[in-house]
Amino acid sequence: MNDMRIVERTVSTETAKMTARGVQVYYDENHALKDVDADILANTVTAFIGPSGCGKSTFLRCLNRMNDTVSVARVVGEIKLDGEDIYDKRVDPVTLRARVGMVFQKPNPFPKSIYDNVAYGPKIHGLTRNKAEMDEIVETSLRKAALWNEVKDRLNAPGTGLSGGQQQRLCIARAVATSPEVLLMDEPCSALDPIATAQVEELIDELRAHFSVVIVTHSMQQAARVSQRTAFFHMGHLVEYGETGQIFTNPKDPRTESYITGRIG
């Protein structure tokens, strides 16, 4: 009898877009992030969850060097984008932030027209040669942010005149306009009503076809709805990181279980 077995190999289709190794963050004496290792996968929505002050936003801001703007912050460890160290002295943080874009908690459109809000990034990064190319980027970005139909007849109106949900989608269009490879979102729905939140959540799912999305959220329901991977932070530690379904239904660490069942946080 032939007892030779065919060993099936699981071929991983998961590509790490960003890798973080041994990341520590100090704000003066406060050791806010402790030895974090994590991979951010390509074309995946990753949610960062955990109680207030656990370091979610701090880690998010490490991924595009936004902590550089905080004078007391010190980042140690290694973070790579496509294998390249983003903290290398030769990396220009402004160029990096076009590749790793960011959307903030409160919609913050510039006091400019809808068109100019979206055109701003491509203009400063010299991504277009003429008006026709810029028009194209503005339209495509507004379409990707599911805002085009609502604003196409008033592109010269001020961005600040839009509703809160529209302003947040305008900020997403602004970030999308530089063709980012990763989009970081820090509680992007916390200032939005349930309808605008649902629109942004739907959008997040569509955006992952184009790039990786990392979202900090206080809502476990939101993390479960939008993400494929979830990272649970607690007191500066990345306690558990895995498939969203596993984290919510079968957490391995008791701290994760306590958080998702509402016992801590």
Ligand X SMILES: Nc1ncnc2c1ncn2[C@@H]1O[C@H](COP(=O)(O)OP(=O)(O)OP(=O)(O)O)[C@@H](O)[C@H]1O
Residues that bind ligand X (CB under 6 A): 27, 30, 32, 50, 52-58, 70, 72
Minimum CB–partner distance for residue 227 and ligand X (Å): 16
Q: Please say which residue, 3 or 29, places its beta carbon nearer to ligand X.
A: 29
Q: Please say which residue, 73 or 147, places its beta carbon nearer to ligand X.
A: 73
Minimum CB–partner distance for residue 32 and ligand X (Å): 3
Minimum CB–partner distance for residue 16 and ligand X (Å): 23
Q: How far apart are CA 86 and CA 79, in angstroms?
A: 6
Of 181, 173, 72, 66, the C-alpha closest to 116 is: 173
**Secondary structure element (H or E) that encloses residue 186, with its range:** strand 182-186
Question: And the tokens for 157?
Answer: 């109106």
Long-range pairs for 142-149: beta carbons < 8 A, 24 or more residues apart:
142/114, 142/118, 142/170, 142/173, 144/172, 144/173, 144/176, 144/206, 144/207, 144/210, 145/169, 145/170, 145/172, 145/173, 145/176, 145/203, 146/199, 146/202, 146/203, 146/206, 147/173
Minimum CB–partner distance for residue 107 and ligand X (Å): 17
Q: Please say which residue, 97 or 144, places its beta carbon nearer to ligand X.
A: 97
Minimum CB–partner distance for residue 30 and ligand X (Å): 6
Q: Please say which residue, 137 or 239, places its beta carbon nearer to ligand X.
A: 239
Other Cβ atoms less than 10 A from the Cβ of 149: the count is: 9
Minimum CB–partner distance for residue 129 and ligand X (Å): 39
Q: What is the CA radius of gyration of the chain?
A: 20
Minimum CB–partner distance for residue 256 and ligand X (Å): 15
In sequence order, which ranges of 29-163 are alpha helices (DSSP H)? 56-62, 93-99, 114-124, 131-144, 148-151
Are 133 and 111 a contacting pair, CB within 8 Å? no
Q: Please say which residue, 50 or 122, places its beta carbon nearer to ligand X.
A: 50
Q: Please say which residue, 55 or 121, places its beta carbon nearer to ligand X.
A: 55
Other Cβ atoms less than 10 A from the Cβ of 109: the count is: 22
Q: Please say which residue, 115 or 232, places its beta carbon nearer to ligand X.
A: 232
Please identify which residue in the block is written with the tokens 């880690």: 59
